[in-house]
Amino acid sequence: MQDHSLLQSVLVFLVAVVIAVPLARRLKLGSVLGYLAAGVVIGPYGLKWVHNPEAISGVSELGVALLLFVIGLELSPQRLWVMRRAVFGAGAAQVASCALVIALVAAAGFGLAPVTASVVGLGLAFSSTAFGLQILAERRELQSPHGRLAFAILLFQDLVAIPLIAAIPLLGSHGLGHAAAHPSWLSALRVAGVIALVVIGGRYALRPVFRAVARTQLIEVSTATALLVVIGVAWLMQLAGISMALGTFLAGVLLADSEYRHELETNIAPFEGLLLGLFFITVGMGVNLALLAQHPWIVVGLVALLLACKAPLLWSVGRLAPRMTGIDALRLAALLAGGGEFAFVVFKLAAEHDLLSARQHELLVLAITLSMAAVPLLVLAVARIPESGKPVREFDTIDAAAPRVIIAGFGRVGQIVGRLLRARNIPFVALESSVEQVDLSRRFSGTNIYFGDPTRPEMLRAAGAGKAEVFVLATDDPDANVRTARIVRRLFPNLRIIARARNRQHAFRLMDLASDPDDVVRETFYSSLKMARLTLEALGMGSEQARAVVTLFREHDEKLLRYQHLVYDVDVALRQTTREAFAELAALFEADNERAARAALTPDAAPADAKPS
């Protein structure tokens, strides 16, 4: 009966995840909120499909341990040193200011004890790393000024979370008066001994173990070893009476510069994602929606107070950072104003060690969840605000002489084309839709780069498309590329289009519009061929033979591309031609190898046997 109950709980968890997480991602709310919503629905305060979330809480906490192990793996000293100013400058300023203000509000406004208020202040100062990075990636803002600063701040928050999680059991024990039974110096000695054991073992024992396991070439043994390290270190930390998260983080840091780092990440990733999702589900099952119904103004007030405390401080930190405008700082504040996943861990530990009451813990979890749900709405609202202090720039007036070439897109591909044309004194005009890229390019590349949208007919006419000979389509957006090519082909049918294609499907769509299929250039094709040639040479193949092999492959693939262009919208035909082409290429290589072997056996007869074809 108990096994049946466990199997039923697992089935409920999987069904909830499969439904809630994709739905949340489709609504652009993030997978974290999807897991939380799934927990709310199936938990004791929802449909009551699962009545005992505490039964799986121990397993789900392994997800946090695995997350911190992966964070440690990514935290090499070299990376920290490169980002030291942003991480330890802006990151420290954000955590310190937000924690201080929230702690003072908690102590003065809600009468919390100093230790509890400090824990609440630090916990609420955290933002969601998974949530923030996911939003930045979806909006393609990871490399923007506020995206880079947000990443640095989140990295510092991850660093601060480790000692805080480790310190909560000690703070709780001290508050309960356990120090008399277990002297503080003895507890400190035990903690230091276990940490030293983890550090020394990670430095001198783990690498030989992984080296021996790697020789077996068995994936399941490598995966088991990685899990053994994480769970073993977590168990040691629990024996010492401190958070297992600290130990797994240290183990990850010690292996950050190891040659086995990427293999470890690959082996751990599936378990980390699944168990971390399980952790968020258990948090969601603890969200007491009855509190929202009973005390709506208190809950909404707590969420508003949290956002009101963090957003101005985040904006101030952003304004102090170099190269950050007012709107960039506002975007940073909207992205990080909500709570984070580490706050769930911190407050769960605090409740277990009597630093928070059950009702306080429920209110904080509910407030954090609602604040995280508010973040996408804040980000969308800020995105609609025009930049103040920097008016929206109108398209540039083009006053250049009639060019022979027009380049649409002056990024990394367009710049190389432009440099070569300039070196040959061939006049051209470049159109770029990014103001920052235009300003940067003009500093280094002259004044024939203009801010404009190449899909606008009036911009094309102003650039001289009616008199130009070649239109180089170098933008990196496939849809915009095809749209621009279609407009140019319709308005200027005599203008030759040479287009950059991201992949085969993109190339097929551009070949529909190009005068010559050879005018469509796949952006990574030729560089990949060179890498393949260098790989063959590194494996011992002669330079001429490697060049011949790559040339044969290139000619065959270009022929295949032209043929598949005729049937690319028929999926069955496309798959069939791909299979036939693979067999044909293998036969060509086999015949080439036989010719080379015969030539090697009878080198003197080869010239006499040669006949013109």
Query: Does the pLDDT at position 100 exceed 90?
Result: yes
Distances (CA, A) of 269 to 54, 181, 342, 544: 25, 41, 19, 43
Q: How far apart are CA 166 and CA 185, in angstroms?
A: 16
What SS3 class is residue 435?
helix
**Domain formed by 2-177+186-383, architecture:** Up-down Bundle (1.20)
pTM of the model: 0.57
pLDDT tens figures, 206-226: 778 877 887 877 778 878 888
- Which of 228, 314, 215, 210 has the alpha carbon at shortest distance from 271? 228
Distance in angstroms (rounded) separating the CA atoms of residues 332 and 327: 9
> Which pair of structure tokens corresponds to residue 606?
């080869």
With CA atoms as reference, report the closest residue to 477 among 523, 443, 529, 512.
523
The yes-or-no verdict on residue 156 having pLDDT over 90 is: no
The pLDDT of residue 266: 76
Please classify residue 144 by burial: count the beta carbons closer than 10 Å to its beta carbon, then call 0-12 exposed, 13-18 middle and 19+ buried. middle
pLDDT band of 16, cuts 50, 70, 90: confident
Measured CA distances, 339 to 121, 324, 373 (Å) = 11, 23, 10
Give yes or no for a contact between 338 and 307, defined as CB atoms under 8 angstroms apart.
yes
36-40, 96-100, 222-226, 241-245: which range is least confident on average?
Answer: 241-245
What pLDDT does residue 390 have? 47
pLDDT at 508 over 50: yes
**What does the pLDDT look like over 305-324, one tens digit per residue?**
999 999 999 999 998 887 78
Single out the residue of 108, 103, 165 nearest to residue 352, CA to CA: 165
How high is the pLDDT of residue 122? 92
- Using the predicted structure, report yes or no on whether residue 102 has a pLDDT greater than 80: yes
Give the pLDDT of residue 51. 67
Q: What percent of the chain has pLDDT over 90?
A: 8
Residue range(s) occupied by CATH 3.40.50.720 in the chain: 403-507
- What is residue 55's predicted lDDT score, i.e. its pLDDT? 61
Residues 332-340 have a mean pLDDT of 90
C-alpha span between 482 and 502 (Å, rounded): 11
Q: Which residues pair with 208 in a beta bridge?
A: none
Q: Is the pLDDT score of 562 beyond 60?
A: yes
Instruction: Using alpha carbons, list the distances in angstroms from residue 152 to 51, 165, 463.
Output: 40, 20, 41
In the chain, CATH 1.20.1530.20 covers: 2-177+186-383
CA dist., res. 156 & res. 75, Å (int) = 11
Domain 403-507 has CATH 2.60.120.10: no
DSSP assigned state of 103: H
Cα–Cα separations (whole angstroms), residue 457 to 428, 448, 482: 18, 19, 15
Each residue of 105-154: pLDDT tens digit? 999 988 888 899 999 999 999 998 767 776 776 677 776 788 888 888 98
> What is the pLDDT, as a whole number, of residue 121?
93
Q: Are 132 and 342 in contact (CB under 8 A)?
A: no
